[in-house]
Amino acid sequence: MDEKRILVVDDEPHIRDMYSLAFSKAGYGFQKAESAEEALDILKKERYWVMFLDLNLPGMNGVDLCRRICKAYPMTISYAVTGYASLFDLNECREAGFDDYFIKPTSLADMVAAAEHAFMKLERWKQR
Amino acid sequence: MKKANILIVEDESIVAQEIKMCLENMGHAVASMAKRGEEAIIKAEEDLPDIVLMDIQLKGQMDGIEAADIIQSRLGVPVIFLTAYHDDERLERAKFTRPYGYVLKPFQERDLKITIEMALYAAEMEAWRKRAEEKLREQEKFQGVLEMAGAVCHELNQPLQSVSGFSELLFMDMETSDPNYESVKKIKSGIERIGGLTRKIMKITRYRSKSYLNKNKIIDIERASRYQEGGPL
């Protein structure tokens, strides 16, 4: 884990750009995908440890994507981000493997802090 | 036995008096008496009796079946026909007014007593059912409004996330001496307020929503507005 890289999946281009700016500014490497399918393709080529997944995606939704990722890569730390809190239940998200759950509109500072926290946790796990 | 307030509609005075005595013997009160159909409707409107005992053959233009139809449908007051006629044509017409009873003259006091008692109970149940239905409709309407509010918030949250994030980014880079600092600060705090509001609304609408047209769990504003304009769902 040389570079701290984050994968963000969101179908809104503005939001992807915004995350890209915020995470790059905070010093993280950044990759974006607009669908679950694209994210899975990216993961076949590169390994990401920290992810922010929008839940209401076209095609496969973020909850199922998280299930797939956690099954293949159990050490991944993933965060759910959604504007549709009543469609996706917190319990279901935790069961799918999400570490935390952000309801849009969420502050970028909170997301950057979550990423920071995730990398600290990974660092600790690495030292075991 | 429940004491009822009864309107007697009978064009023969002597018969009307007999019925009145009979009802009072049973413990009921006679609210008023009418001889014509038109008069019966006015008295029913004024007194709102618990039951109307309606003769079919009346003086004047309107017969008892017509009057009963208006009284039941407009005022919701239950009607029992009390008549000497039982020919098929009258029975057929009377049936459509959905009477609470049909007693033939000359009547036995016991028969009338039982019919009134049954009618009072049926009317009470009907009123209860109507109230329950009304309550359910109100609840459904309220739930619909809440879900609509929730759907609006859901739709707003997407663009709001991008506005809120970009304003946060702008603010991050800004020196307090920047001439736009105060303006951006105000924009940011305004967006935070909107975010707080949508979150509050979503909290009260966060329950399992019903399936709507096309089995959508939530109201899709884009699709609903297309449907409203006559397009497909």
Q: Is the pLDDT of residue B86 over 60?
A: yes
Q: Are residues B102 and B20 in the same domain?
A: yes
- Determine, for residues A105 and B217 on separate chains, whether the beta-carbon distance falls below 8 Å: no
Q: Is the pLDDT of residue B219 over 60?
A: no
Q: Is B128 inside any structural domain?
A: no
A84 reaches B (C-beta below 8 A): yes
Residue range B122-152, pLDDT digits in tens: 999 999 999 999 999 998 888 888 878 877 8
Span B60-78, mean pLDDT?
Answer: 94
Q: What is the pLDDT of residue B222?
A: 60
B169 reaches A (C-beta below 8 A): yes
* Distance (Å, whole) CA B233 – CA B226: 7
CA distance A26 to chain B (A): 11
Q: What is the pLDDT of residue B137?
A: 92
CA distance B166 to chain A (A): 6
Give percent of chain A with pLDDT exceeding 70. 95
Q: Are residues B81 and B152 in the same domain?
A: no
Does the pTM of the predicted model rise above 0.80?
no
Q: Is B126 inside any structural domain?
A: no
Among candidates B158, B160, B209 on the partner chain, residue whose Cβ is nearest the Cβ of A86: B209
- Determine, for residues B154 and A83 on separate chains, whether the beta-carbon distance falls below 8 Å: yes
A87 reaches B (C-beta below 8 A): yes
Q: Which of the listed residues B58, B91, B107 is the one where a domain comes to its end?
A: B107
Q: What is the pLDDT of residue B155?
A: 81
Between chain A and chain B, the number of residue pairs with CB atoms below 8 A apart is 67
Q: What is the pLDDT of residue B232?
A: 62
CA distance B161 to chain A (A): 4
**Domains held by chain B: number:** 2
Pick the more confident residue, B104 or B86.
B104
Q: Is B220 inside any structural domain?
A: yes
CB-CB neighbors (< 8 A) of B198 in chain A? 105
Q: Are residues B100 and B193 in the same domain?
A: no
Q: Are residues B66 and B153 in the same domain?
A: no
Q: Are residues B48 and B101 in the same domain?
A: yes
Residue range B167-188, pLDDT digits in tens: 999 998 899 999 999 999 999 9
Q: Scan for tokens 């994030």, then name that residue.
A: B165
What's the pLDDT band for A15 if we cut at 50, 70, 90?
A: very high
Pick the more confident residue, B2 or B30.
B30
Span B27-33, mean pLDDT?
Answer: 95
Q: Is B95 inside any structural domain?
A: yes
Residue range A43-101, pLDDT digits in tens: 999 999 999 999 988 899 999 999 999 999 999 999 999 877 666 678 888 999 999 98
Q: What is the pLDDT of residue B208?
A: 47
What's the pLDDT band for B198 if we cut at 50, 70, 90?
A: confident
CA distance B55 to chain A (A): 60
CATH code of the domain containing B64: 3.40.50.2300
Any bridge partners for residue B6, and if so which? B30, B51
Which fold is adopted by the domain A5-126? Rossmann fold (3.40.50)
Q: Which domain holds residue B42?
A: 5-107
Give percent of chain B with pLDDT exceeding 70. 88
Residue range B97-128, pLDDT digits in tens: 999 999 999 999 999 999 999 999 999 999 99
Q: Is B182 inside any structural domain?
A: yes
Among candidates B155, B195, B218 on the partner chain, residue whose Cβ is nearest the Cβ of A87: B218
What's the pLDDT band for B223 if we cut at 50, 70, 90?
A: low
B121 reaches A (C-beta below 8 A): no
Neighbours of B190 (CB within 10 A): 13
Q: Is the pLDDT of residue B210 over 60?
A: no
Span A24-31, mean pLDDT?
Answer: 93
CB-CB neighbors (< 8 A) of B206 in chain A? 85-86
CA distance A73 to chain B (A): 29
Query: Which of A104, A106, A108, A112 would best serve as a mutation to test chain B binding (most B beta carbons within 10 A)?
Result: A104
Q: Would you list the DSSP string of chain A?
A: --S-EEEEE-S-HHHHHHHHHHHHHTT-EEEEESSHHHHHHHHHHS--SEEEEESS-SSS-HHHHHHHHHHH-TT-EEEEEES-TTTS-HHHHHHHT-SEEEESS--HHHHHHHHHHHHHHHHHHHT-
Give percent of chain B with pLDDT exceeding 90. 68
